Structure 1
Amino acid sequence: MKFSREKSAGYLTNWAARLFAKAIDRRLKELGLSSGQLPVFFALGDGGAMSQKALTEIAAIEQPTMAATLSRMERDGIVARVPNPEDGRSALFSLTPSAMKKALDVRAAIAAVNADALEGLEGPDREAFLAMLRGVIANLENRLNDQP
């Protein structure tokens, strides 16, 4: 049986995700950000502070990946780390003032890439597409949460 990429939901979704990341990275480069930093950027975008553990859960990525991401973001002046007053063993991360100033530009870049990607899908078609994606995500999350 021959594998057909054009009929594989996993392959097509992965391909679309790689193209989204490439397009977003192109727009974010001038802001000193990358698509891999967006989950942290958006989680902290309201001006709050969070622990690495909380950010890992929100972003749904592995702890070592989050640690490396936060280290790079701190090095680049995007996040600041302060001791957690409630738990001396952990730190809290927040966006720096200069990163907060970039928030509107980041949102505009994301909106532009989404508009490009969804061009030609209007109204009900766009809503149906997004609903189907949410359904696929929910199915996969449920299956993964059911397994040890």
Structure 2
Amino acid sequence: MNSATYLAGQLAKSFSRSLHERSAGLGFLPGQFPVLLELWNGDGLTQKDLLDRLDVEQATLANTLSRMERDGLIEREAHPNDRRKQVIRLTEKANAMREAAISAALEADDVLFAGFRRFERELMLEYIRRVIDNAGKA
């Protein structure tokens, strides 16, 4: 099939499946990984901050955060300046899995990029970034 939309969906499923195989024993799901990455890069974000950074639906993020809280990966606390908001913080459990989770994601990438030369992989990533950027402008 030559539909970029179809192929992008298949590609996303492949990366998610590859990450899931490597993360199952670590205590997080592939859909939680982007949230973890954002919080590892700057803990103490609000749900709105995460929505802006991840470009996902409000309901999807709310469900992901609820599951992460249930699984002991995040805690929510009152925002210091706005009672309507909550600050989302990583737990010790989530912080402790950082290195292993990032390694699992890199291994997942390596499997899917098997046979690619370094410049081909970098070019593919650049193309993906450009398509995502274009999608944000559409």
Tell me the SS of whatever aligns to 1:89: coil
CA distance in structure 2 between the aligned counterparts of 1:23 and 1:29, rounded to whole angstroms: 10
- Structure 2 CA distance, aligned partners of 1:69 and 1:132? 28
- Answer yes or no: is the 8 Å Cα contact 1:47–1:95 preserved in 2: no
Corresponding pairs, count: 138
- Normalising by structure 1, what TM-score? 0.89
Q: Give, in whole Å, the separation in 1 of the partners of 2:3 and 2:41.
A: 38
2:33 corresponds to 1:38: yes
Are 1:101 and 2:96 an aligned pair? yes
Query: What 5-or-longer segments of structure 2 have no aligned partner?
Result: none
**1:142 aligns to 2:137 (yes or no):** yes
Q: Counterparts of 1:31 and 1:124 in 2: how far apart (Å)?
A: 31
Please give the residue correspondences for 1:1-148 in structure 2 after superposition, counting only pairs within 5 Å: 5=1, 7-46=2-41, 48-143=43-138
| TM-superposed deviation, 1:123 | 2.4
Structure 2 CA distance for aligned equivalents of residues 83 and 69 of structure 1: 19
Gaps in structure 1 of 5+ consecutive residues: 144-148
Moved over 2 A (4+): none
For residues 35 and 123 of structure 1, the distance between their equivalents in structure 2, rounded to whole angstroms, comes to: 25
Offset at residue 46 of structure 1 (A): 3.5
Render the CA deviation track for 1:68-122: whole Å, top value 9, x for unaligned. Answer: 1111100110001110011111110011011100000000000001111111111
Q: Deviations over 1:54-74 (max 9, x none)?
A: 111111111111111111100
Kept after mapping to 2: 8 A contact 1:52/1:92: yes
Deviation at 1:133, TM superposition (A): 1.3
- 3-state secondary structure, aligned to 2:84: strand
Rg larger for: 1
Residues of 1 paired with 2:41 and 2:134: CA distance? 30
Larger RCO (CA within 8 A; separation ≥ 6): 2
1:72 counterpart letter in structure 2: R
Question: Matches of 1:108 and 1:138 in 2, distance apart?
Answer: 26
Q: How big is the shift at 1:47?
A: 5.5
For residues 39 and 93 of structure 1, what CA distance do their matches in structure 2 show? Answer: 14
Look up the SS of the partner of 1:121 in the other structure: coil
Report the CA distance shift for 1:135/1:47 in structure 2 as closer, same or farther (over 3 A): closer
